[in-house]
């Protein structure tokens, strides 16, 4: 496992559609582990493969809840309900935040690193993280859909 370099906007890879993973190989599993290490090192709550320059449909998410680290291959949203509105940031767009409207609860399905299909339902921050990372797989950044974009201000997110 290793830390990968996070691609920064305006790199074109962030605006491209990621490709479906057709076969789970040891390289795919290593990439997922590297992505998790990279996310933790950068103190993020999610990371998509395009953010490390690889156009594959892979995400990792850990919002610090009972689900722990979630690694998903070919994730897709099965259902989305309700609405939340709040600040988002992105490891690929440092020092910028934006107010984004997202579903409050989402159900996502995909494959785990062993190829088993899994379905996870999450609300609040987990729903936001899933939607944010899946957007990355489709070449969409939070700044593309934010109602307001502003310079990162730690106090606004309740952090120092």
User: For the chain, what is the HEC assignment?
Assistant: CCCCCCCCCCCHHHHCCCECCCCCCHHHHHHHHHHHHHHHHCCCCEEEHHHHCCCECEEEECCCCCCCCEEEEEEEEEEEECCEEEEECCCCCCCEEEEEEECCEEEEEEECCCCCEEEEEEECHHHHHHHHHHHHHCCCCHHHHCCEEEECCHHHHCCC
Annotated binding-site positions for Fe cation: 90, 132, 136
Residue 135 lies in a domain: yes
Evaluate whether residue 5 is within a structural domain.
no
Q: Is residue 3 assigned to a domain?
A: no
In a domain, 2, yes or no: no
Residue 97 located in a structural domain: yes
Average pLDDT of span 30-50 = 97
Confidence (pLDDT) at 159: 42
Task: Please check whether residue 86 lies inside any domain of the structure.
Answer: yes
Per annotation, catalytic residue among 133, 147, 151, 160: 133
Q: Is 64 within the bounds of a domain?
A: yes
Does 133 qualify as catalytic in the annotation?
yes
Q: What is the extent of the structural domain holding 58? A: 12-157
Binding-site positions: 90, 132, 136
- pTM beyond 0.75: the answer is yes
Q: Could you give the number of structural domains in the chain?
A: 1
């Amino acid at each position: 496992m290793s830390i990968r370099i996070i691609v920064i906007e305006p790199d074109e890879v962030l605006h491209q559609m990621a490709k479906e993973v057709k076969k789970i190989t040891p390289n795919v599993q290593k990439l997922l582990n590297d992505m998790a290490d990279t996310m933790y090192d950068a103190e993020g709550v999610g990371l998509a493969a395009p953010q490390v320059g690889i156009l594959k449909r892979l995400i990792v998410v850990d919002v610090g809840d009972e689900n722990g680290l979630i690694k998903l291959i070919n994730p897709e949203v099965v259902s989305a309900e309700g609405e939340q509105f709040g600040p988002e940031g992105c490891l690929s767009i440092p020092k910028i935040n934006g107010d984004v409207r997202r579903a409050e609860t989402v159900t996502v399905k995909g494959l785990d690193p062993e190829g088993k299909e899994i379905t996870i339902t999450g609300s609040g921050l987990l729903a936001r993280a899933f939607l944010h990372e899946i957007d990355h797989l489709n070449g969409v950044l939070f700044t593309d859909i934010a109602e307001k974009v502003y310079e990162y201000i730690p106090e606004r997110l309740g952090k120092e």
